[in-house]
Chains A and B, each alone.
Chain A
Amino acid sequence: EIVLTQSPGTLSLSPGERATLSCRASQSVSSNYLAWYQQKPGQAPRFIIYGASSRATGIPDRFSGRGSGTDFTLTISRLEPEDFAVYYCQQYGRTPLTFGGGTKVEIK
């Protein structure tokens, strides 16, 4: 199975700052089938990015994804108060599908 390692575990930032989250895969992710999700406490995850760099419907353009092969990044250009949450990457290029362990973006 493909293991996804997210870093850092926690990111402490202020509103307005830029957030850069990393997701590294143990093997190349087929067709760059890499997604990102946002999850807030007590809520289901929210679909943000697919295909490594395409924004899901309704996602603001301050969210961007990039990367290929084994190294992927989610960037939030200017953090809004509602962006503080846990973010997960997921590869869906090979079964079993797998998630990373998550990065918590917290208010500094």
Chain B
Amino acid sequence: QVYLVESGGGVVQPGTSLRLSCAASGFTFTSYAMHWVRQAPGKGLEWVAVISHDGRDKYYGDSVKGRFTISRDKFTKTVSLQMRSLRVEDTAVYYCGRAPWPFFDWLSPVDYWGQGSLVTVGS
């Protein structure tokens, strides 16, 4: 059974940083690309970032490019999202997700999703 569990959310001030983590289990972690997707309160889904199965390729949404960094650790089976220069508009539930097919590239949908971690940026 695939499990994805996000952690690290919370309330932060604008301009500060926060790091989200996603612990993966139930599948061969090093074989799958991983995504982050967010959802602002009452709004739709917004794709944030993807990292290839081997960590070599990373792509970002336009609204977070240059501020957020995705990474992965094959030893701890964790994918992380380092968020810097946070803005009020970054307030959202952040979901970690897995690509459906092993060794497929980063152009993939998300088949398994975590339950999300809420990040609130506000004074």
Q: Which residues in A have some Cβ–Cβ distance to B below 8 Å?
A: 1, 30, 33, 35, 37, 39, 44-47, 50, 56-57, 88, 90, 92-102
Contacts and interface: CB of A to CB of B under 8 A. Distances in A.
Nearest to A45: B113
Interface of B: 35, 37, 44-47, 50, 59-62, 95, 100, 106-116
B45 A95 contact: no
Nearest to A49: B109
Contacts of A46: 113
A101 B44 contact: yes
A44 B95 contact: yes
Contact of A56 (B61, B100, B108): B100
A90 B111 CA distance: 12
Nearest to B111: A47
Contacts of B115: 44
A50 B112 CA distance: 13
Contact of A33 (B59, B107, B116): B107
Contact of A92 (B62, B107, B112, B114): B107
B100 to A, nearest CB: 7
7 contacts: A33-B107, A45-B95, A47-B100, A47-B110, A93-B107, A97-B47, A102-B45
A88 B44 contact: yes
Given A44-B95, A44-B115, A47-B111, A1 B46 contact: no
